[in-house]
A and B are shown apart, each in its own frame.
Chain A
Amino acid sequence: MDIIELTQFAKAKLNANEQDFTNKTQVVVALLRSLDVLSHTRTALTEHRHMEFAGALALAADTLGKFDLYTRKHSTLHSRGGTTRIVAWLDDCVSKGLLQQEQGLNYAKGTMIVGPMLHHYSKYATVTHDVPIERANIR
């Protein structure tokens, strides 16, 4: 499935307020931010785009485990309702090993396969963990 279609599906699921899906998406956003794929600044402006992109990746990890990027042309992506940053984000995902290009290219093009790390944290998000937080300077 095309990445733009996936982001539209992800947007619909986020608007439907599905808790499991939102949890997965938040963890994938955190993963992408930790790896410097997505920016952690100005999130009031950009968070909805980040959530849609991460939701698309979480959806791909849940379903087929792969998706397509038919074109890298920004104007086409924009006219179809996607963000033009998606190409750079996918390139970063490939270089960080979160996604694999089917033909072994080191940039995003054609069929992309979800990597094991993304699979791992997509599943991990559904588990509730309780890590105790110790605050220093408080007695």
Chain B
Amino acid sequence: MLDTLHTFEAFISLRHSNPSLYHSLHIQRRMVLKCRKLGPEQFFHSYTALQEAT
């Protein structure tokens, strides 16, 4: 399983590393469920980090 996908950035990086996986329904559903489970504050990591830094 894709255990390292915990952030939005990790999911969208699949566009380059594995495009067919990225466009699969499985990974899109996984992204939605992960965001619901973790909450946007944890899921959107780079944006949250940017806010904390400024």
Contacts and interface: CB of A to CB of B under 8 A. Distances in A.
Interface of A: 23, 26-27, 30-31, 33-36, 40-41, 43, 117, 120-121, 124-125, 128-137
Contacts, number: 71
Given A35-B40, A130-B13, A133-B17, A30 B2 contact: no
A130 B12 CA distance: 10
A124 B46 contact: yes
B3 to A, nearest CB: 5
Contacts of B15: 23, 26-27
A116 B4 CA distance: 27
A136 B15 CA distance: 21
Given A30-B31, A129-B13, 7 more contacts: A30-B8, A35-B40, A40-B31, A121-B8, A121-B44, A133-B14, A133-B17
B35 A136 contact: no
Given A27-B12, A34-B43, A135 B25 contact: no
B4 A133 contact: yes
